[in-house]
């Protein structure tokens, strides 16, 4: 059975009776068992998945209405709640936490008869760029297991790239879907802020994070977006997209569209092979009738500092609940007074989470808030104005998703500043609430390169049309498993 099909191909094959959901899901679980010891994408596997697929086959045979997913096997980042399942955020602090409810995105996928084959690995509490900060060990890049897969949604990207599922859900706070998508050669989508409900996503930085799909093709991303987007009474930040069909007209092309080439994302520090690939992508888009011109966003150079200041502040607030009284693990109370107990219990946080909690307590504190946090908010405001001004002239913006190629494990983990700069091209979309997508485009020395397109808020459909047009210009290899 061919596991290397897209989500839409899977749906068509099941509809046509060429495959059954049970057989496909069983083959997927078998494949996970065969390859995941090497890749470590999964933290847990759903033991009921095959039985669930069998029930969907029964619905199909009996002529009952079946959801649009037709038993499609999907992996879920382990910071999204699935009722009755462990949701650990790849942290020892939540190693035994069983989610009491479903995230809204999960509810919507269940209504469409999706099957969740398991929870996938991530940087602890989504704080990281390589999946090296998982408390349960890193995931491995399927293109070369000596290299990082990106993060924090590394497990999601690996599982899609390595055919351990048809699609995955991740979360993107500063590039955490697009970064691993680029490193693992999948499509990664960060929607307009508010397009997908965050209810049931364990919070890192509420003001900028978003749930986003990782898929094999741009059409699959549009398909997933159709299923999980829209207003949610449980999340007051959601927006009404009027049940937009993102698949409709996806092949409309981009002739006459103006695309801005972000100069600050193409300069110092970019790997030559990434620069070449980006220029080739621009040339391909011009060949399709797009008009590409340079554009400058001066505040990009301050975006990393602003991002980590804002997110650390929000993370410090969100992580305060993990005092081992409301959430946590078995730990003896005797012999401790309150503060020392919490301090001891929090030693179960990993180094990156600890770093950001400390920073998050410092920057908004008395005497420092104006010096750091308020300045970061001003950068965010100015960057938003700059990008809004750019969209007065351009329909879309383009840059490399990540300015460098995937790197080896341990290469940057001891240099947080160098590691943070990996996100310099992706952070802008999060700080400004814009939709952005990473499209697999090229390889260098066997390692993938992704191209990022950014659109104005609520122009997700245009963004997907442009991404689809770019995707059609290349034919890429698949993971040699």
Position 111 pLDDT exceeds 90: yes
**H helices then E strands: how many in the chain?**
15, 11
Position 419 pLDDT exceeds 90: no
Place of tokens 């879920």: 76
Q: Of 77, 190, 219, 412, which residue is the catalytic one?
A: 77
pLDDT (0 to 100) of residue 271? 95
Residue 134 is among the residues annotated as catalytic for this protein: no
Q: For residue 338, what pLDDT band results from cuts at 50, 70 and 90? A: low
pLDDT (0 to 100) of residue 399? 98
Residue 20 is among the residues annotated as catalytic for this protein: no
Position 364 pLDDT exceeds 90: no
Residue 152 is among the residues annotated as catalytic for this protein: yes
Secondary structure percentages of the chain, helix, strand, coil, to 5: 40, 15, 45
When pLDDT is averaged across residues 29-49 and rounded to a whole number, the result is 98
Q: How many CB atoms lie under 10 A from the CB of residue 194?
A: 21
Which of 3.50.50.60, 3.90.1300.10, 3.40.50.300, 1.25.60.10 would CATH assign to domain 7-251+437-450+461-472?
3.90.1300.10
pLDDT (0 to 100) of residue 335? 67
Position 328 pLDDT exceeds 70: no
> For residue 8, which phi and psi values (nearest 5 degrees)?
-70, -35
Position 23 pLDDT exceeds 90: yes
By C-alpha distance, which of 181, 456, 172, 424 is closest to 307? Answer: 424
d(CA 270, CA 372): 28
Task: Give the start-to-end residue ranges of the domains of the chain.
Answer: 7-251+437-450+461-472
DSSP bridge pairs for 190: 436
> Do 87 and 81 contact (CB within 8 A), yes or no?
yes
Position 369 pLDDT exceeds 90: no
Position 131 pLDDT exceeds 70: yes
| Range of lowest pLDDT (246-255, 261-270, 330-339, 448-457) | 330-339
By C-alpha distance, which of 286, 264, 159, 295 is closest to 216? Answer: 159
Q: Of 171, 176, 185, 303, which residue is the catalytic one?
A: 176
When pLDDT is averaged across residues 191-199 and rounded to a whole number, the result is 98
What the block records as the tokens of 260 is: 């801005």
Q: Of 75, 91, 139, 152, which residue is the catalytic one?
A: 152
pLDDT (0 to 100) of residue 333? 65
Q: What is the pLDDT of residues 229-271, one digit of tens each?
A: 999 999 999 999 999 999 999 999 999 999 999 999 998 889 9
């Amino acid at each position: 059975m061919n596991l290397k099909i897209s989500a839409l191909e899977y749906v068509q094959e099941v509809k046509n009776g060429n495959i059954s959901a049970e057989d496909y899901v069983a083959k997927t679980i078998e494949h996970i068992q065969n390859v995941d010891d090497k890749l470590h994408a999964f933290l847990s596997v759903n033991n009921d998945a095959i039985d669930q697929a069998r029930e969907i086959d029964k619905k199909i045979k009996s002529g009952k209405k079946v959801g649009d997913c037709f038993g499609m096997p999907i992996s879920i980042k382990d910071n999204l709640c699935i009722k009755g399942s462990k949701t650990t955020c790849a942290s020892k602090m939540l190693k035994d936490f069983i989610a009491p409810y479903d995230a809204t995105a999960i509810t919507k996928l269940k209504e469409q008869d999706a099957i969740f084959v398991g929870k996938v690995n991530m940087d602890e509490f989504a704080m990281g760029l390589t999946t090296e900060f998982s408390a349960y060990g890193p995931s491995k890049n399927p293109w070369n297991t000596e290299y990082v897969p990106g993060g924090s949604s590394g497990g999601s990207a690996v599982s899609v790239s390595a055919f351990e599922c048809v699609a995955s859900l991740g979360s993107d706070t500063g590039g955490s879907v697009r970064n691993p998508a680029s490193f693992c050669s999948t499509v990664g989508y960060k929607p307009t802020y508010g397009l997908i409900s965050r209810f049931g996503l364990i919070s890192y930085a509420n003001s900028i994070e978003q749930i986003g799909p990782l898929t094999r093709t741009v059409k699959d991303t549009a398909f997933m977006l159709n299923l999980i987007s829209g207003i949610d009474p449980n999340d007051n930040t959601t927006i009404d997209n009027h049940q937009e069909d993102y698949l409709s007209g996806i092949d409309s092309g981009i002739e006459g569209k103006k695309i801005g080439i972000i100069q600050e994302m193409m300069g110092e520090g970019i790997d030559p092979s990434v620069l070449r690939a980006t220029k080739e992508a621009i040339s391909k888009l011009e060949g399709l009738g797009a008009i590409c011109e340079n554009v400058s966003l001066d505040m990009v150079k301050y975006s990393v500092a602003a991002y980590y200041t804002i997110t650390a502040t929000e993370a410090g607030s969100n992580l305060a609940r993990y005092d081992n009284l409301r959430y946590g693990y078995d730990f003896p109370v005797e012999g401790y007074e309150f503060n020392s107990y919490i301090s001891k219990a929090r030693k179960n946080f990993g180094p990156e989470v600890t770093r950001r909690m400390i920073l998050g307590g410092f920057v908004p504190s008395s005497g420092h808030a104006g010096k750091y946090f308020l300045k970061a908010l001003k950068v965010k405001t100015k960057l938003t104005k700059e990008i809004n001004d750019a969209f007065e002239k351009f329909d879309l913006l383009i840059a490399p998703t990540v300015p460098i190629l995937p790197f080896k494990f341990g290469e940057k983990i001891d240099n947080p500043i160098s590691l943070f700069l990996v996100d310099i091209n992706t952070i802008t979309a999060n700080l400004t609430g814009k939709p952005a997508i990473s499209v697999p485009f090229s390889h260098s020395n066997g390692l993938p390169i992704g191209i990022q397109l950014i659109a104005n808020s609520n122009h997700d459909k245009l963004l997907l049309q442009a991404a689809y047009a770019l995707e059609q210009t290349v034919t890429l290899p698949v993971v040699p498993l």
